[in-house]
Structure formats: C-alpha cells, structure tokens
Amino acid sequence: MAKRKSKFVCQDCGYESPKWMGKCPGCNNWNTLVEEVESTTTRGNHAFRGVTKVNSKPEKITAIESEKEPRITTSMKEFNRVLGGGIVLGSLVLIGGDPGIGKSTLLLQISSQLAEKQLPILYISGEESTRQTKLRADRLGIKADLLYVLSETNLFDITKQIEEIRPSFVVVDSIQTIYREEISSAPGSVSQVRECTGELMRIAKSMGIPIFIVGHVTKEGAIAGPRLLEHMVDAVLYFEGERHHVYRILRSVKNRFGSTNEMGIFEMKEEGLREVMNPSEIFLEERSEGSAGSTVVASMEGTRPILVEIQALISPSSFGNPRRMATGIDNNRVPLLMAVLEKRVGMMLQNQDAYIKVTGGVKLDEPAIDLALAVSIASSFRDRSTRPNDIFIGEVGLTGEIRRVSRIEQRVQEAAKLGFKRVICPKNNLDGWTPPKNIQVIGVSTVQEALDVGIEQ
C-alpha cells in the first residue's frame, strides 16, 4: 500500500513545510500555508517532465543553425505586436487580469479569427459550460465551424482530446480549475497548478501546438499561485484596464520570442474588443489646452512611442503632513522630484499637497517622464500653463540636471506626426541624428532651463 505523506505548501510562493505555520517564512504572508497530501509511489511516475528531449549530446553554439520561429498571425495587429509578431508554434503563454476585464472575450475572438483561416482550434473552459461559451460567441458574432469548445477540468481527458483533434491552437480557461487525478490536493493549489502547467508545456513542445492558459490574479494584481508558473511559460501577458472604462491594455512582461514591456490598446464594445491603432490620439483627445499643471510626454512602451498627458494639482495643505498622491506612476517619484524643485529651483513645496495623474489609465515607469512630471508640478504651483504644442522628455537627476534618454528619434517622430511644434529634451540627446523639419527640438541641461523654456511667463 502506498505511503501518504502530508506537507504544508504556501499558496503564494510555493514554500514547503512539514508543519503548519501562521506566517510563511518565504514571502512573509499570513495564513497562506495549506495542507497537501501526496502519494510517494505516484510522485516519481507523474512528476513534471518538462521539455521533451531532442538531442542528449551537447553541441557547439556556432554549429547550431539559426532558424526564424514560425508564427501564426491573427487579424489583430495589436495582439501580434504584443507577442512579437504573432503566435509562435509550440509556445506556452500565460495571460492574467482582473475578473470581468475581458480575457475570455479576447481569447475567444482570437480563436475565431484563427478558425476562419481553416485552422482547428480547441477552446477549453473549466469555469463555464459549453452553452455559456456559446452565448458569448453569439454576442461576439462568432460562427466558425473549426472552433471546438470543451467544458472539462480533468487534465487526462483534456490531453486525450488534444491528441485526438490535433488543434493548431489551444486555450485553457483557466489553469486554476484544471486538476490531475494523481494529486490529492484541490484544484488551484500549488501542486496542481505546477503539475498541470508542466504537462501542458510538454504537450506544447512535443506536438508544436501553441497553448494559451488563463491565470487568476490576486487582489494586488499579480497572477495567483507561485512565481514558478511565470518562469515555466514562454510569455506572460497582463490584461489591464478599469472595468468602467472602455479601453483595455494588453501588456507583455515576459516574452522569449519578442520584446518585453510591449503594449497593445483595445477598446471594449458591445460586439467585443476592437484594436486601437493610434493610442496617442485617444489619450490626448480630451486634453484641455491652456490649463496649468498639464504637460505631454512621449513614453516608450516596448518598441512603440506613446504620447500621454500628465496632470498635476498643487494646493496649500491644511494639515501638518502634506499629501502626496499619484495615479499611473510610482508614488515615491513625486516627493523626490518635489525635493529637487525645492532645492534646485527654489520653490517652497514643503507645505503643499500634490496630486498627480496619468490620463487614460496608462501606467508609466520609465525615467524619461521625470521632466514632464516636474514641469507639471511647477506649472500648477505657479498657476501658469505650458504651451499646448510642447512635449517634455528627459530624466531628472538629484542635482537638477537633465539626463539623456533612449530612442529620442522615435519619440520626436511620434510628436511630429500628431502636430506638436516643440520638443524639450536633454541636450546630450541632440547629437547624431536629424529631427523632422516641422518640429523644433530644444536641448536643456537643467530643470531651471526647462522651466524657463516650457512655462509661459
């Protein structure tokens, strides 16, 4: 008779312990250790097998032939851009997002587009019945004959159907509902998620079938389960956006076959998701010109420049500790730039409340937005507006200097395409390239120079 061994596994980080503890030593979270029972006889037979072996002998890297990965392109150019040019054969992609954000809608539309190209597609739903999936398909106007829908949570039965149908594309919605009979823990536990993902990886690599798996997210917005899940897959995509807004952002945070931090913009409509080909116009269409505290920055999202408006509101504080609030950027960046303005420019900001917002629901984290943020704060504090046709690009140092940024040519070309007349950027970025004729590029070395040039007197 097989021995049964009990262990306690953290559902957040995967830490294992022989006894229960209230606080996980691995991630310091409370009440995350759950008891899991496993059989020692079946563990060796059903352990994670990983990628199927192709050649057991080591080869010289110079002797290996370079081949371009074959890809399947969809009708959504934004989706292809995020993946680096299309869906790579044999890849395993993890997509996460808040409940109701549109993950199932997006993948069902992609499946329909591929099925219309005469490719057999298998959509596996562990959370909905086939009739529920049919209702969504009717709402989206999907009528593809080669789109097969399966409502199943048993991994053995799923594997059997994949081997029978031999689809060109598989969607598993979601990985937290799939289970293996050999593992006694509940679906969604660390052991089940790890083993099921490992089996799906083996299928994808051995049969050359791209598989998309949907993952639940925690209240912090990260994909639920151990971080091992993100290490196992080839690409990790996050579907972001406010449920009460129409725009959705598909962001790539890991991609073995393309650029990371790539971003695709979609608009949620009644008939499904539609791609936004020029997001800069969308983010700037409601901008109020001539308002103090408003600036525009050209931010790079992967390989794409996007023009976004940054708004700042500076007002006298009524309390001893002024408030510093930011939406769309790191909260720690606001007091840092306010300290630079106070020390290097002479603005008395220590008794002022600061509220910063990036419009459109975009999240910016690159250093090139520092100058636009600093100019927004100074503009609101002085109650003087910036010119409506100005773009601000640059990283701000603690000594008040403006440091160079990457890909300045692409940023300036995007600004010129949308009709902006001036770009205020680091002086060190002016060498080695020629700006477009219809836009003026002004180089600055310090924050004070940028304020003198950018804020109307």
The answer to the question of residue 58 being in a domain is: no
Instruction: Reply yes or no: is the peptide bond before residue 317 cis, omega within 30 of 0.
Output: no
**Are 268 and 363 part of one and the same domain?**
no
Please say if the pLDDT value at position 53 is more than 70. Answer: no
The answer to the question of residue 216 being in a domain is: yes
**Are 104 and 211 part of one and the same domain?**
yes
Map residue 315 onto helix, strand or coil: strand
Cβ-based neighbour number of residue 457 at 10 Å: 5
Of the pLDDT bands very low, low, confident and very high (cuts 50, 70, 90), residue 44 is: very low
Instruction: Please state the rounded mean pLDDT for residues 86-109.
Output: 92
Domain boundary among 242, 277, 312: 277
d(CA 4, CA 280): 58
**Are 265 and 364 part of one and the same domain?**
no
**Are 288 and 151 part of one and the same domain?**
no
The answer to the question of residue 61 being in a domain is: no
**Are 106 and 220 part of one and the same domain?**
yes
Please say if the pLDDT value at position 41 is more than 50. Answer: no
DSSP 217: B
The answer to the question of residue 273 being in a domain is: yes
Please say if the pLDDT value at position 33 is more than 60. Answer: yes
Map residue 419 onto helix, strand or coil: coil
Please say if the pLDDT value at position 305 is more than 60. Answer: yes
Domain boundary among 212, 245, 277: 277
Cβ-based neighbour number of residue 173 at 10 Å: 23
d(CA 394, CA 408): 10
Sheet holding 33-39, edge to edge: 16-17, 4-10, 33-39
Check which CATH number belongs to the domain holding 227 and give it: 3.40.50.300
The pLDDT value given to residue 270: 86
Out of 111-125, 150-164, 187-201, which region has the weakest mean confidence (pLDDT)?
187-201
Report CA-CA distances (Å) from 117 to 106, 110, 133, 140, 345: 17, 11, 21, 18, 61
d(CA 411, CA 393): 9
**Are 124 and 197 part of one and the same domain?**
yes
Domain boundary among 259, 277, 295: 277
CA end-to-end span of the chain, whole Å? 86
Beta pairing partners, 256: none
**Are 165 and 105 part of one and the same domain?**
yes
Map residue 310 onto helix, strand or coil: strand
Q: Which domain holds residue 356?
A: 282-454
Q: Are 16 and 7 in contact (CB under 8 A)?
A: yes
Query: What residues are designated binding site for ATP?
Result: 97-104
Please say if the pLDDT value at position 6 is more than 60. Answer: yes
Query: According to DSSP H, which parts of 333-418 are helical?
Result: 333-340, 370-382, 408-417
The pLDDT value given to residue 55: 53
The answer to the question of residue 373 being in a domain is: yes
**Are 266 and 333 part of one and the same domain?**
no
Query: What residues are designated binding site?
Result: 97-104
**Are 314 and 428 part of one and the same domain?**
yes
**Are 258 and 335 part of one and the same domain?**
no
Sheet holding 422-426, edge to edge: 390-392, 422-426, 440-444
Convert 24-53 to b/e letters by CB count within 10 Å (16 or more is b): bebeeeeebbbebebeeeeeeebeeeeeee
The answer to the question of residue 64 being in a domain is: no
d(CA 141, CA 156): 32
**Number of separate domains in the chain:** 3
Map residue 413 onto helix, strand or coil: helix
Of the pLDDT bands very low, low, confident and very high (cuts 50, 70, 90), residue 362 is: confident
d(CA 189, CA 176): 8
The answer to the question of residue 49 being in a domain is: no
Out of 100-109, 210-219, 368-377, which region has the weakest mean confidence (pLDDT)?
210-219
Tell the residue number behind the tokens 């395409």, with chain if given. Answer: 417
Q: Are 137 and 177 in contact (CB under 8 A)?
A: no
Q: Are 166 and 120 in contact (CB under 8 A)?
A: yes
The pLDDT value given to residue 49: 42
**Are 210 and 273 part of one and the same domain?**
yes
**Are 272 and 286 part of one and the same domain?**
no
Check which CATH number belongs to the domain holding 371 and give it: 3.30.230.10
The answer to the question of residue 246 being in a domain is: yes
